[in-house]
Amino acid sequence: MANLFDYLDWRGDLSFEVSPINEVDSLILSQISYVDFGGIVSSDPSAEPVPMMEAVRAYLKAHKGENLYLGRIMPPETLTLMVRAAKSRRFGALTLVGYENRVDEKRELQFSAVTFLSPKGQCFLAYRGTDDTLIGWKENFNMSFMQPVPAQTEAVLYLEQMAEARPGDFTLCGHSKGGNLAVYAAVKCRSELKKRIMSVYSNDGPGFDVAFVRSEEYKEMKGKLHTIVPQSSVVGLLLEHAESHEVIRSTAAGLLQHNAFSWEVLGNRFIHLDSISEESRQIDTAIKDWMKAMKPAERERFVDSFYQTVTATGAKTLTELNLEKIKLLKIWNTVDPVSRSHIMKLIPLMVKQSARAKSTYKKYTVKK
């Protein structure tokens, strides 16, 4: 089945002037935003942009001889995608500017973004999703009882600062939490900036609280929002969405469909389906019921308790946590009974969803 790499082979020779940015492009840029361009691309929106290939070469030179690794949950194909994209006419003509990457445990913040500029001055803002840091995952969970979380506030500020420095139109995109940040920034930015936003792509990004999706600001931008989820999505259906979903086909099963390299491509778009799987729908309902059973204050206590449990191992990242399994098992016995009960209710939902999706994903019809 065709994927992002096949797309580069098929469409990589077409410039963005000949073929405007599309949903597949948005996912490629979102994936490249997971790469650390620190010391290579300036954080100053007004700085001289760095050509794509120059940025890639500088990254590879800085990490020469290293076992390149982006974290426990990041697909290893990401770096190959970056190199292949840079070699193409389409993405190789882009330049990079405004690379931000901030992790602040006190603020419970994980935020990163980078802007890609086309030769004609179009601005493609890519917000990074959750990285390998545990504090980044803590901030994700905070969304269940808090809005805005710090990364959402930073996302708005990033867009507004970039808009002051760059005169072109904007396309916003992101994968996972990055998709949530792209939508939030578009909805909450200054009103005079909104007409410069052409499209917003949330690639399997979680939603928001009810008040947000019912707000006039949200309704104003709704027509520009593109929410894309694989057919057995879990992450992309979390919290509330008022915009319609575009359901696409993945070669993976269950939670593994969150991996963007499993999304199937045909021409300049994904293979779209009529609906999400019934298993995904059931899991979505079960998770929402699970969350509704807890008041916001209870969710906060649960998230804090869970975070304190995993960080008691001394780990700062998922990679480090994976090496501390024995410590984690010992600490598990110290978790308060209520939080432990909540966790034990959630785990079977995830296992059930993954098992069922493995045998059902091919049953859904392609959208005409």
State the distance between the two ends of the chain, measured CA to CA, in whole angstroms.
18
Are 158 and 189 within 8 A, CB to CB? no
Contacts of 167 (CB under 8 A, 6+ apart): 121
Most confident of 240-254, 299-313, 336-350: 240-254
Q: What are phi and psi of 356, to 5 degrees?
A: -70, -40
User: What is the arithmetic mean of pLDDT over 95-102?
Assistant: 97
pLDDT in tens, 50-74: 999 999 999 999 988 777 666 666 7
List the one residue out of 248, 251, 265, 194 whose CA is nearest residue 225. 194
- What gap in Å lies between CA 203 and CA 148, rounded to an integer? 20
How many residues appear in the chain? Answer: 368
- What gap in Å lies between CA 339 and CA 256, rounded to an integer? 26
pLDDT in tens, 110-135: 999 999 999 999 999 999 998 767 77
Are 256 and 350 within 8 A, CB to CB? no
- What gap in Å lies between CA 235 and CA 146, rounded to an integer? 17
Contacts of 9 (CB under 8 A, 6+ apart): none
pLDDT in tens, 229-247: 988 766 655 655 666 678 8
Residue with tokens 């191992």: 313
pLDDT in tens, 200-222: 999 998 888 889 999 999 999 99
Q: Give the residues across from 197 on adjacent strands.
A: 170
| Entry pTM | 0.85
- Mutual angle of helices 77-87 and 52-62, in 10-degree steps: 140
Enumerate the H helices of 197-277 as residue ranges: 210-213, 216-221
Are 108 and 163 within 8 A, CB to CB? no
Contacts of 278 (CB under 8 A, 6+ apart): 360
Q: What local confidence, expressed as pLDDT, does residue 357 receive? A: 42
- Would you list the domain boundaries of the chain? 4-283
Q: What local confidence, expressed as pLDDT, does residue 364 receive? A: 43
Are 49 and 97 within 8 A, CB to CB? yes
Are 4 and 265 within 8 A, CB to CB? yes
Angle at 59 between CA 269 and CA 47, to 5 degrees: 85
CATH class of 4-283: alpha beta
- What gap in Å lies between CA 197 and CA 179, rounded to an integer? 15
